Structure 1
């Protein structure tokens, strides 16, 4: 049998981009090479992709990595971490400007602008990051197999800006996917939130799942009876009295994790309409202060969230590499306004 973890839409990070297959081999199974065995049980996955997953240790038998030549035995327990299965959607290559942070033979880092959708979906079939990547790199691993997510190792929301790593080979796709699944990727976000947390730094732990009232919104379920385990570490970097600049480090990557966790803490993200942050939640809602906040909303009509840095093991050198990015113009401008207002 095989068990699947369904991927979520619009994830802030990538844990849910990957399916965790668990296969218990039948008692009557004859000895068979593992790649051939899995080919019969995982639809729409090429043999090459399976072999690369095995080499990158994304396939394990009885909790241990194996070689491609390993022969499956009765009652073996096989676990597999692979990129999301192919979709039927054709991706149209589009010449869309992108900001590249780094590139080598194995991977590519992009600093995504706010407002850009990462992958094609309903009402967003063109103009996405995937459309741009398909144009820029014609031979990304998933493109060669007709899939709809060329090279995509993780993703962030449309209105979240910041760093994304793209795999250029099947091996790197599997190797990076394993790191995301194991929560060994260093992921740092900057968020502007309403109010000032009581503790300057701390950890938010609470299952994140879709709200029963609104499927677009994620809610926190602290008792763990619903949703998926989620952990966010935060640290206040700057106190502006009415809002705070907060650094968030993800231990897990669930849908809208930072947005849901910060609201649960009592500090929704500034200008985040979906989570109630597009209203004045701290300070007097009238007079010159009201005008100041409304101008700040106009300057940044999106959630104040930026994927600032990424750190991970390089697929080939195995060395930990770290990348950082500057805040986008709208985020930096809003921070400057709050800094000036605080000074006054």
Structure 2
């Protein structure tokens, strides 16, 4: 845990402004540090700002001779946490391939890629900083917060990620991503059986206005960005279907949102409804019997059934096409074996 620090501010005539709210005063006071007013308001809300030793609200007005105690943690004044990254050597990472220019890792489920939302130490970025330091890779200043990482996988999605180890590789691969020439494929287990054996989902994805954690499909680009996902059915089981997905774009939660949109959410996806028993996909003659079976499935695979198994792109230095394919992880494989029974 980060240690808390305190800043003591005495309101005197030099810094006092009549009828000023405490959140606005603090915003002006820390102006050089470029801290947002919203961030200051959040610090007030959680009780980390005391006025005359009392907890207050963001709209409290100040008076001369008031005393403010501003409590914060070490990383509070680093804008978006981009200038302060912790090293973490304890995280276990499966390196699938490495040369002087690129690093390909097989991310395990449960690992967050970027620091944020209260987790600033136990992410892939934290491990990368340690790994670069350990191996004397000195190009970190070029990458700042990303450390050569070019794309993401959700916390509970497993699979392949590309990392550039120098600025030339980073710029080259970034351009390949922008030109959509990097091929990425996933496998997923979805509820029910999609209507079409092969289909292209083409629409727009943007932030869900009612729930900012979720993304949503929109009919036009006013509220979202173009998103294209192809899928193909591999095998249909009793109530789940194994499919292959190819994405032409890389929007947040794209595959999860698209499959939910067509009515076949990914199994055990806790944001888009796949973590519930969805009877509508099955002709259940004995619900109690199948409820037990499905609960066993949840126990076998306690995360969303999505895995990035395929990458193909041009090597940034040799310019040759290279591809990487990894096997389905054991937890998804165990569920598939159970479904076969």
**Fold agreement, TM-score > 0.5:** yes
Q: Distance in 1 between matches of 2:131 and 2:289?
A: 48
Task: Point out where structure 1 has 5 or more consecutive residues left out of the alignment.
Answer: 1-84
Q: Distance in 2 between matches of 1:317 and 1:87?
A: 32
- Correspondence for 1:327: 328
Q: Which runs of 4+ in 1 moved over 6 A?
A: none
Change (3 A) 1:199 1:118: same
Change (3 A) 1:126 1:247: same
Q: Distance in 2 between matches of 1:262 and 1:146?
A: 34
1:309: how far off?
0.6
Q: Distance in 1 between matches of 2:182 and 2:245?
A: 14
- Correspondence for 1:108: 103
Q: Deviations over 1:151-180 (max 9, x none)?
A: 211111010000001100100011001111
Q: Distance in 2 between matches of 1:136 and 1:191?
A: 31
Q: Deviations over 1:255-313 (max 9, x none)?
A: 00000000111100000010001112223383121011112112212111000110000
1:142: how far off?
6.1
- Correspondence for 2:316: 315
Contact 1:143/1:149, CA 8 A, preserved across alignment = no
Between 1:183-192 and 1:222-231, the stretch displaced more is: 222-231
Q: Distance in 1 between matches of 2:128 and 2:144?
A: 13
1:133: how far off?
1.6
Secondary structure, aligned partner of 2:313:
strand
Change (3 A) 1:249 1:142: farther
1:129: how far off?
1.1
- Correspondence for 1:131: 126
1:188 partnered with 2:185: yes
1:141: how far off?
6.6
Contact 1:107/1:172, CA 8 A, preserved across alignment = yes
- Correspondence for 1:206: 203
The 5 Å alignment of 1:260-275 reads 260-275=257-272
Task: Point out where structure 2 has 5 or more consecutive residues left out of the alignment.
Answer: 1-79
Contact 2:142/2:167, CA 8 A, preserved across alignment = no
Contact 1:314/1:320, CA 8 A, preserved across alignment = yes
- Correspondence for 1:170: 167
Contact 2:204/2:218, CA 8 A, preserved across alignment = yes
Q: Distance in 2 between matches of 1:236 and 1:125?
A: 39
Q: Distance in 2 between matches of 1:148 and 1:317?
A: 27
Give 1 or 2 for the bigger CA radius of gyration.
2
Contact 1:91/1:120, CA 8 A, preserved across alignment = no
Secondary structure, aligned partner of 1:333:
helix
Change (3 A) 1:179 1:140: farther
Contact 1:110/1:163, CA 8 A, preserved across alignment = yes
Change (3 A) 1:333 1:156: same
Q: 1:119 aligns with which of 114, 117, 130?
A: 114
1:222: how far off?
2.4
Secondary structure, aligned partner of 1:119:
coil
1:99 partnered with 2:100: no
Secondary structure, aligned partner of 1:330:
helix
1:252: how far off?
0.3
1:303 partnered with 2:307: no
Secondary structure, aligned partner of 1:190:
strand
Q: Distance in 1 between matches of 2:318 and 2:171?
A: 15
Change (3 A) 1:141 1:331: farther
